[in-house]
Amino acid sequence: MSQTETATPAPKTSHAHQLHVLKPERSRLGLMRPDHSKSVFIDWLTTVDHKKIGIMYGAIALFFLFIGGIEALIIRTQLIVPENNLISAERYNQLFTMHGTTMIFLAVMPLNSAFFNFLIPLQIGARDVAFPRINALSLWSFVAGALVINFGWLLEALQMMGLFAASGPTAGMTDLAPSGGWFGYAPLSSKEYSGVGTDFWIMGLQILGVASLTASMNFIVTILNMRAPGMKMMRMPVFTWMSLVVAFLIIFAFPAITIALGQLMFDRTFGTNFFNVAGGGQPILWQHLFWIFGHPEVYILVLPAMGIISEVLPTFSKKPLFGYSIVIFSGAVIGFLGFAVWSHHMFTTGLGKVATAAFSLLTMAIAVPTGVKIFNWVGTIWGGRIRFTAPMIFSLGFVWMFMMGGFSGIMHAAAPADAQQQDSYFVIAHFHYVIMGGIFLALVSGIYYWVPKVFGKMWTGSLSTWVAVLIVVGLNVTFFPMHFLGLLGMPRRTHTYLEGFGWSTYNLVCTIGSYILAIGILLLLVDLIRCLRSGEPAGDDPWDARTLEWATTSPPQVYNFAKTPIIPARDALWSHKHGPEGKKITYEDDHGHGIHMPSNSWMPLIASIGFVPLGLGMTLKQAGVPYMGSLAIFGLFVITLGLALWAIEGPGGFHLHPEEDEA
Amino acid sequence: MSDVHYAPLPVSTKSHKDSETDKYHTFVNLALCLAAITGVELVLVYLPFNATFIFTVLLTLSLFKFVAVIAWFMHLLYDKLLLTLAFGTGMAIATGTFVALGSLISRSNVDLDAITAF
Amino acid sequence: MSDTATAHHDDGHLSLNNDNKKLLMWLFLGSDCMFFGTLISTHLIYRKIYPESFDPTSLFSLELTSFSTFILLMSSFLMALAVSAMHKGELKSFRRNVLGVIFFGLIFLGCQVYEFAHFVHEGLTLSTNTFGSTFYMMTGTHGVHVAIGVFWLICMYFYSHTGKMDAHESAVDVEIAGLYWHFVDIVWIVIFTAVYLIEFI
């Protein structure tokens, strides 16, 4: 039996002078690992640190929030008056498709992911996630997917500037940006009715699926296996609990869309008959498969928001969360029921009486655990010593606005009512109240709450109040009139409308509201930049908070906790600050061998870069551009190469000695 | 593809080896069993029994093979409950979802005239 | 060198790391249930709504499919032995068994390639009808899984010759490769019954 050769010399040599083994070492491959001490740029590209990865997720998500917001503003500006001609109907289709896709997959999900990445290891007292390199792969493949999805916009821009024309070898490239709606219903997404944009959309979503799946499996393993001693499941912060539920939702919901997208791609590229009506395909199957993914996706978006609220409300009410175990249980129930209600998106397709009644009932049943949560939050602030700080204001806004979205959701659950509301602006009003009024407010609350921890800078001034007022007023002015528009019969995805339907005033108000909202979000970015540039040092625990992440420094050191904390109770830090003697956080003695840290690696980045030629190659091959099949194979080769080198390279690692560092 | 460093350990105890030998016998028995079942299945479909009966038996046999491979070959029986839960949840959701989906789509919903392929 | 504290420390890392890898693999397999669930149910739904559109009994050769099912089951058996051998630290026995798995896996792939070629020759292609589309995509995805598994095991076989493999470090790596391989096997158990046998009742 052979001896193992590990990449690290650490345990075999003396521990005394391994300080700053941050120097690059040779991996098992004989290649140098990236030197993160020399170039900040290389450090960030090759990092496996969950905190840096989280920050990058957040920055990219905010960028796409900005892009998606601009798309929304153009849509609203087009609808400001009847028979407006600002943009063509085709462009309008592209805009609402990309607005939906961008906001869901490139803004909200990665913003959630930013919080997952940054917070989960800190909240459970771990040094990092279970598989730091897989975490880096998730980030970079997300970036690759975002590039592929948005490649159509790039081509559209080039075409406008006269630098690109669909002629010669590229003659097959029509309809450059996706325009089939964010749920890409067949047969609208089939080859007859849509061009190369749909292929960008398909391949982009596939790659984003890889990112989400790998990240989620990683988080589940992290939460279940990497908890600090004493951090029992029922002592975990609620945000971590909700992340766990979300990660399970992702790994069981995404495969459905992956296969459905694969089938659609085969239809378009190889002429199969999955959704091709003439060949016997059933477009309804696409709807089912999409919503089998799509409905859990709604909870994938909203549960992290509920987790954030469950952290912020107790902190600023100076009370423990009311009914901790019930909040967690109802979160899990919401997640589980989320798999059993997908057909309520399809009531009007004629499912049959029994199925419609069953899905209607199950949908209404989801209101129960959701209502339980709302009551628990109200119970938390009831009688609390409330501080109206920025995070608290947004969280209170969430409770109120999310309930509004919930109410119209119950209305949809009744199938006869839904038959009236289907595909009207009423639906738009409903899900924007849930997403903007609910999820987005919670995410902003999370940003205000945790940025002092992430960057170690405290917010200055009272701009946040203006942000809150503008966003809440803006979203209500934008989306409340849409209820009436829907009831007056205005269908969604309408390029323009005639005068005299009674829709004009409401549309004008909506558009004005959307600009108020936009100003609010812009001020949020201004506030953020101001905080980062000139914020005072925040200190470890600026909010007098309750959970473990506030026990470490702000910003946290690369190793999170100098010594592994031993968790005495739920709300560990609160118990540490105010609890009895036996309920304080203690720390494990590491016997002087320091903290083991994983080495940086190029391989996740290289493997992810391969997704770009793979995605673009598959797309352009379908459009008949020559040599694109080879490009796709090249992409596949790069991915395989990256993964193979990754495996051979080994995890590596080095040891840190924080006490000496801090001295 | 681990990302955490580890070093070699001293060789484990003898009882570990014994349990591996026990497993060997289980594996051989199971392999014979699986081969036999596959043979039975092949013969069964040609026998002139009632279709429902054959269908039920086939379903039972393949379910047995499925569970047996998971339980013994994949060590789920010997391993932590957590792993069973992780896999079982996925299996349960998948089964539930696709049984429901299968019963939602029926021939009566299909416009056969629109299909030119057959 | 390693005092007791260090040994304890690394012990913790090792067992934790093994737990992590195994859990990751089982989660992936749970997720893979949904992948294959979608593919198989798509196939069965189209069989259910168009029972008359295509009769595969003249095309399918149950003898061949039963043979490849048998081969895959036996490869699973050998894989279980290989994992067992690795746990005991018997590298030679591990290599012998893994070579067997690779060989059987290649036979299975060969049967599938022959089957596909035969079907295409008989006129069933991806675009012929819904049966062709769903059948090829489902069995093809399974075949790709088998091929990835074979590639993985070949890598492991060669890695076992570098002298870097031993019972303590690599047993879990072999085990998760084994889990993957067995899963591919159970998927085929389902496909064999739900797609092949059922057509002959």
Pair A325, A253 in one domain: yes
User: What mean pLDDT comes out for the span A392-412?
Assistant: 94
Tell me if C29 is assigned to some domain. Answer: no
What type of residue sits at position A174? Answer: T
How does pLDDT run across A344-377, given as a tens digit for each residue?
Answer: 999 999 888 999 999 999 999 999 999 999 999 9
Q: How confident is the model at residue C165 (pLDDT cuts 50, 70, 90)?
A: confident
Q: How confident is the model at residue B58 (pLDDT cuts 50, 70, 90)?
A: very high
Residue A15 pLDDT > 60, yes or no?
no
Pair A535, A623 in one domain: no
* Distance of residue B66 Cα from the nearest chain A Cα, in angstroms: 20
CA A523 – CA A527 distance, rounded (Å)? 6
Tell me if C166 is assigned to some domain. Answer: yes
- Does the beta carbon of B115 lie under 8 angstroms from any beta carbon of chain A? yes
Chain C contacts of A3, Cβ < 8 Å? 166
Chain C contacts of A130, Cβ < 8 Å? 20, 24
Pair A610, A558 in one domain: no
Tell me if A594 is assigned to some domain. Answer: no
With CB atoms and an 8 Å threshold, state whether C34 touches A252: yes
**Residue that terminates a domain, selected from A588, A614, A644:** A588
Q: Which residue from B minimizes the CA distance to A651?
A: B3
How many independent structural domains does chain C possess?
Answer: 1
Among residues of chain A, what percentage have pLDDT more than 70?
Answer: 94
- Does the beta carbon of C186 lie under 8 angstroms from any beta carbon of chain A? no
How does pLDDT run across A416-462, given as a tens digit for each residue?
Answer: 999 999 999 999 999 999 999 999 999 999 999 999 999 999 998 89
How does pLDDT run across C31-60, given as a tens digit for each residue?
Answer: 999 999 999 999 999 999 998 888 899 899
How many independent structural domains does chain B possess?
Answer: 2
Pair A227, A137 in one domain: yes
ipTM given for this complex = 0.92
Task: Say if CB A593 and CB C13 are below 8 A apart.
Answer: no
User: What mean pLDDT comes out for the span B21-39?
Assistant: 90
User: What mean pLDDT comes out for the span A294-300?
Assistant: 95
How does pLDDT run across A494-530, given as a tens digit for each residue?
Answer: 999 999 999 999 999 999 999 999 999 999 999 999 9
Pair A143, A203 in one domain: yes
Residue B15 pLDDT > 80, yes or no?
no
Tell me if B118 is assigned to some domain. Answer: no
* Distance of residue C27 Cα from the nearest chain B Cα, in angstroms: 6
Residue from A164, A322, A328 nearest A235 by CA: A328
pLDDT at A553: 92
**Residue that terminates a domain, selected from A545, A568, A588:** A588
Tell me if B39 is assigned to some domain. Answer: yes
pLDDT at A636: 95
Chain C contacts of B73, Cβ < 8 Å? 76-77, 79-80, 178, 182, 185
How does pLDDT run across A585-622, given as a tens digit for each residue?
Answer: 999 887 777 788 888 888 999 999 999 999 999 999 88
Chain C contacts of B9, Cβ < 8 Å? 7, 10-11, 14, 168
Q: What is the 3-state secondary structure (H, E, C) of A517-573?
A: HHHHHHHHHHHHHHHHHHCCECCCCCCCCCCHHHHCCCCCCCCCCCCCEECCCCCHH
Chain B contacts of A355, Cβ < 8 Å? 104
Tell me if A391 is assigned to some domain. Answer: yes
With CB atoms and an 8 Å threshold, state whether A133 touches B1: yes
| Mutant choice from B1, B2, B3 vs A, greatest count of A C-beta within 10 A | B3
User: Structural domain of residue A613, as residue ranges?
Assistant: 19-45+599-663
pLDDT at C88: 87
pLDDT at C19: 85
Tell me if A14 is assigned to some domain. Answer: no
Chain B contacts of A350, Cβ < 8 Å? 109
User: What mean pLDDT comes out for the span A270-280?
Assistant: 91
Q: How confident is the model at residue A653 (pLDDT cuts 50, 70, 90)?
A: confident
Q: Which residue from C minimizes the CA distance to A275?
A: C130
Q: How confident is the model at residue A30 (pLDDT cuts 50, 70, 90)?
A: low
User: Structural domain of residue B88, as residue ranges?
Assistant: 78-106
Q: How confident is the model at residue A173 (pLDDT cuts 50, 70, 90)?
A: confident
Q: Which residue from A minimizes the CA distance to B10?
A: A3
- Does the beta carbon of A557 lie under 8 angstroms from any beta carbon of chain B? no
- Does the beta carbon of C147 lie under 8 angstroms from any beta carbon of chain A? no
- Does the beta carbon of A281 lie under 8 angstroms from any beta carbon of chain C? yes
pLDDT at A33: 73
Query: Which helix H or strand E contains A596, and what residues bound it?
Result: strand A595-597
From the list A7, A132, A351, the residue facing B104 with the nearest CB is A351
Question: What single-letter DSSP state applies at residue A655?
Answer: E
CA A570 – CA A567 distance, rounded (Å)? 8
Residue C21 pLDDT > 60, yes or no?
yes
- Does the beta carbon of C130 lie under 8 angstroms from any beta carbon of chain A? yes
Tell me if C186 is assigned to some domain. Answer: yes
How many independent structural domains does chain A possess?
Answer: 2
Task: Say if CB A333 and CB A325 are below 8 A apart.
Answer: no
Tell me if C15 is assigned to some domain. Answer: no
- Does the beta carbon of B81 lie under 8 angstroms from any beta carbon of chain A? no
Pair A38, A113 in one domain: no
Tell me if B4 is assigned to some domain. Answer: no
Tell me if A306 is assigned to some domain. Answer: yes
- Does the beta carbon of C186 lie under 8 angstroms from any beta carbon of chain B? yes
B117: CB partners within 8 A, 6+ apart = A273, A278, A279, A280, C53, C128, C129, C130
Pair A154, A233 in one domain: yes
Tell me if B116 is assigned to some domain. Answer: no
Chain B contacts of A280, Cβ < 8 Å? 115, 117-118
Q: What is the CATH number of the domain that holds C57?
A: 1.20.120.80
Pair B99, B51 in one domain: no
- Does the beta carbon of A592 lie under 8 angstroms from any beta carbon of chain B? no
Chain B contacts of A352, Cβ < 8 Å? 104
pLDDT at A28: 58
pLDDT at C134: 96
How does pLDDT run across A74-112, given as a tens digit for each residue?
Answer: 999 999 999 999 999 999 999 999 999 999 999 999 999
With CB atoms and an 8 Å threshold, state whether B5 touches A8: yes
A35-49, A386-400, C53-67: which is most confident? A386-400
What type of residue sits at position B80? Answer: K
Residue A245 pLDDT > 80, yes or no?
yes
Q: Which ranges of A282-350 does DSSP label H, i.e. alpha helix?
A: 283-317, 324-337
Residue B65 pLDDT > 50, yes or no?
yes
pLDDT at C153: 96
How does pLDDT run across A540-585, given as a tens digit for each residue?
Answer: 999 999 999 999 999 999 889 988 999 999 999 999 999 898 899 9
Tell me if C4 is assigned to some domain. Answer: no
Pair B69, B88 in one domain: no
Pair B82, B70 in one domain: no
Chain C contacts of A253, Cβ < 8 Å? 34
CA A286 – CA A272 distance, rounded (Å)? 14
pLDDT at A32: 64
- Does the beta carbon of C20 lie under 8 angstroms from any beta carbon of chain A? yes
* Distance of residue C190 Cα from the nearest chain A Cα, in angstroms: 18
Residue A662 pLDDT > 90, yes or no?
no
Which segment of A453-457, A482-486, C9-13, C52-56 scores lowest on mean pLDDT? C9-13
Pair A36, A80 in one domain: no
* Distance of residue B106 Cα from the nearest chain A Cα, in angstroms: 10
Pair A104, A170 in one domain: yes
Chain A contacts of B117, Cβ < 8 Å? 273, 278-280
Which long-range contacts link B102-106 to residues 24+ away (Cβ below 8 Å)?
A: B102/C41, B102/C44, B102/C45, B102/C48, B104/A288, B104/A343, B104/A351, B104/A352, B104/A355, B105/A282, B105/A284, B105/A285, B105/A288, B105/C45, B105/C48, B105/C49, B106/C48, B106/C49
**Residue predicted with more confidence, B118 or A270:** A270
* Distance of residue A476 Cα from the nearest chain C Cα, in angstroms: 39
A:129-158 residues touching chain C, CB 8 A cutoff: 130-131
- Does the beta carbon of A167 lie under 8 angstroms from any beta carbon of chain C? no
- Helix axis angle for A441-455 and A109-124, nearest 10°, is 50
Q: How confident is the model at residue A659 (pLDDT cuts 50, 70, 90)?
A: low
A532: CB partners within 8 A, 6+ apart = A455, A457
Residue from A456, A329, A467, A322 nearest A383 by CA: A322
Residue from A450, A455, A458, A351 nearest A394 by CA: A450
How does pLDDT run across B68-113, given as a tens digit for each residue?
Answer: 999 999 988 888 899 999 999 999 999 999 999 999 998 887 878 7
With CB atoms and an 8 Å threshold, state whether C129 touches A280: yes
**Residue predicted with more confidence, A42 or A319:** A319
User: Structural domain of residue C79, as residue ranges?
Assistant: 35-200
Q: What is the CATH number of the domain that holds A529?
A: 1.20.210.10
Tell me if C27 is assigned to some domain. Answer: no
Tell me if B8 is assigned to some domain. Answer: no
From the list A288, A647, A652, the residue facing B104 with the nearest CB is A288
How does pLDDT run across C136-158, given as a tens digit for each residue?
Answer: 999 999 999 999 999 999 999 99
